[in-house]
Structure 1
Amino acid sequence: MEIDRLKIYYLEDDGNIPNNPDLPVLIYRNAVKDTAEMEEIFHLNQWMNSWINGIHDYHHYHSNTHEVLGVVSGDASVKLGGEKGVELTISKGDVIILPAGTGHKKLSSSTDFKVAGAYPDGADFNMYEGSLKDRPQVLIDIKNVPLPEFDPIYGNGGPVNKYWLQSRTRA
């Protein structure tokens, strides 16, 4: 993978959305040429329980699993990390890997915007919207989510393995 196509974001707890204290968000720009194969690529790398749809237009996160989102068509403006997070434009072929706890929200999109989503080993995901009543349990859940064995695009030895394993050993 060309390093200029890899973007890394460490997102802090914004008070409502916990994000992940140890693992960065990874964004692979223009990583998949034939986006019709997005789900198949995820499956080959053991990211399952996949779907194709959009991204919710409200801040939400999953405390019990990591998530990969691959843009199948169109483009969108998204906010990662809650209100105090980062705003990005994502386009066809881009892949976003969200560690457990990372908030995400669609701000706007083209009419043809679609993403494929999947989870390591086909995990079932929960959904939270940033209510303080959910803490401290979600913080415990986030810390206990295991690292995936494979990067959802590049398999063994991809950026997930490199950056997430480095992050875990630093924590």
Structure 2
Amino acid sequence: MPVPETLHFAPSHGVPNNPRLPVLYYRTVLIGTPATIESLIQANGWEPRWRNGVYDFHHFHSTAHEALAVAHGTASVMLGGEDGMVLDIGPGDILILPAGTGHKRITASDDFLLIGAYPPGQDYQIERPDAGRPDAALARIAVVPLPDSDPVTGRDGALPALWRAATDKPA
């Protein structure tokens, strides 16, 4: 079973990031057509909702966790806000962003295509950094329920164990 890398980000210039949950980064785990990728994600309990790219401005979602699966093409994306890190992603890569994680496209190939997916019942809002209201975003992030499954590996996958362990730690 594939094991994701874990990435942690502190708040950054109005991007709250998630104070407890790490980003999960699977490299080259799911190569296939967009329909094949969507079918696997859906079979693992997440809802594929769109096909597109990543906005070219820092943004986050405080009301939902998000999985971004690269169907084809390549891109450089910045995670974590201005003080975050740039990742080069390509076909088969999947990023699982806990609520509040900043993300932005730096560059992308002409054929870059992502599939965006969310846990059932979670709806995302596109939010821009707001250094003046971090407590409001953090309050919304705190009540987003943990998913029951990992969009790559299902109920017995890495996400449930890693994220539950992270929420059991003192803040």
Q: What is the TM-score with the length of structure 1 in the denominator?
A: 0.94
Task: Report the counterpart of residue 11 of structure 2 in structure 1.
Answer: 13
In structure 2, give the amino acid aligned to 1:130.
P
2:25 and 2:165 mapped to 1: Cα distance?
17
Percent identity of the aligned residues? 41
Query: Match of 1:127?
Result: 126
Task: Name which of 12, 26, 47 aligns with 1:28.
Answer: 26
Q: Which moved more, 1:157-166 or 1:19-28?
A: 157-166
Moved more, 64-73 or 48-57: 48-57
Contact 2:73 2:108 in 1 (8 A): yes
1:80 is matched with 79
Runs of 4+ in 1 over 2 A off after TM superposition: 132-135
Alignment partners' CA distance in 2, 1:164 and 1:157: 13
Shift in Å at residue 133 of structure 1? 3.9
Alpha-carbon distance between aligned partners in 1 of 2:45 and 2:2, rounded to the nearest angstrom: 23
**Alpha-carbon distance, 1:40 to partner:** 1.2
Count residues in correspondence: 169
Distance 1:103 1:58 in 2: 10
| Secondary structure of residue in 1 paired with 2:67 | strand
CA contact (8 A) 1:70 1:95 kept: yes
> Aligned equivalents of 1:124 and 1:141: distance in 2?
12
Give the whole-Å Cα distance in 2 for the aligned partners of 1:168 and 1:35: 35
- Whole-Å Cα distance in 2 between the matches of residues 70 and 34 of structure 1? 11
**Cα distance, 1:45 vs. partner?**
1.8
Letter in 2 for 1:7: E
Cα offsets for 1:98-125 (capped at 9, x unmatched): 0000000000011100000011005221
What SS is found at the alignment partner of 2:42?
A: helix
Alignment of 1:1-171 (within 5 A): 1-3=1-3, 6-36=4-34, 37-48=36-47, 50-171=49-170
Offset at 1:33? 2.2
Measure the CA separation in 1 of the matches of 2:134 and 2:6.
Answer: 26
Q: What TM-score, normalized by structure 2, do the two folds share?
A: 0.94
Q: How far, CA to CA, are the matches of 1:128 and 1:52 in structure 2?
A: 19
CA distance in 2, matches of 1:33, 1:21: 31
Rounded Cα–Cα distance in structure 2 between residues aligned with 1:35 and 1:151: 20
Taking structure 1 as reference, are residues 122 and 114 closer, same or farther at Cα in structure 2, changes over 3 Å only?
farther
SS in 2 for 1:164: helix
Give unpaired runs (5+ residues) of structure 2. none
Q: Which moved more, 1:88-97 or 1:127-136?
A: 127-136
Gaps of 5+ in 1: none
The RMSD of aligned alpha carbons is: 1.3
